[in-house]
Structure 1
Amino acid sequence: MRRSEFLRAVEAEFGARSASLVDDLVLGAVGSRTASEALAAGVPPRDIWLALCEETDVPVERRHGVGRLEPRRG
């Protein structure tokens, strides 16, 4: 998962709350940092996404593949 995919996934899942969750919610699974701090520290976006999902009780079926753009069709 790339940073851009992470940001799309957060927006898709949390909508208007996404910015505050990324900037304010401390995630123990990524070193007791916010998602923004973890990204800045070089934590892989997928690890942050999964930590955010776990902390906010996102159902397992919505944790994978979100944030990816559809493949280009030629």
Structure 2
Amino acid sequence: MRRSEFLRAVDAEFGARASSLVSDLVLNQLAGRTAAEALEAGVPPRDIWLALCVEADVPLERRHGAGRLEPRRR
């Protein structure tokens, strides 16, 4: 997962709350960092996404493949 895919996934899942969750929610799985702090520290976006999903109780079926764009048609 790329950073852009992470940001799309967070926006799609959390809507108006997305930016505050990224900057304010402490993620226990990431040593007490917020998602923004973890991104700055170089933590892979996929790891951050999964930790955010755990903290926010996102159902398993909405965690995988989130943030990906559909392949281009030729």
**Structure 1: runs of 5 or more not aligned:** none
**Structure 2: runs of 5 or more not aligned:** none
Moved over 3 A (4+): none
CA distance in 1, matches of 2:7, 2:63: 13
- Which residue number in structure 2 is paired with residue 3 of structure 1? 3
Aligned residues: 74
Q: CA-to-partner distance for each residue in 1:8-67, whole Å, 9 max, x for gaps?
A: 000000000000000000001112100000000000000000000000000000000110
Superposition RMSD on alpha carbons, in Å?
Answer: 0.4
TM-score, structure 2 as length reference? 0.98
TM-score, structure 1 as length reference? 0.98
Identical columns (%):
78
